[in-house]
Amino acid sequence: MTDEEQARKGRAIALLIAGVGLFWIAATTLGAWLDWSQRWRALCDLAALAGFGLAIYMIYDLWRARRADKD
């Protein structure tokens, strides 16, 4: 994997984390403002948790690729 590909993956991960964070803040705010049920709020929380979990997996994958290139 080239340095450019690694940088592209890193930017994609950063955008994913920022997007999930903004989604979570917006869903929490809208849920309180529009008086959503706890079920819908929990669904948004779980979706955000899944997004952050995906980001962690992508970070681990990028880390492994960098270590493989290092050797």
Q: Write out the chain's pLDDT in tens, 71 residues.
A: 788 999 999 999 999 999 999 999 999 999 999 999 999 999 999 999 999 999 999 999 999 999 988 76
Q: Are 24 and 45 in contact (CB under 8 A)?
A: yes
What is the token pair recorded at 47? 């979706």
How many domains are contained in the chain?
Answer: 1
| Domain span holding position 40 | 3-70
Q: What is the pLDDT of residue 71?
A: 66
For the chain, give the DSSP string. Answer: --HHHHHHHHHHHHHHHHHHHHHHHHHHHHHHHTT--HHHHHHHHHHHHHHHHHHHHHHHHHHHHHHHHH-
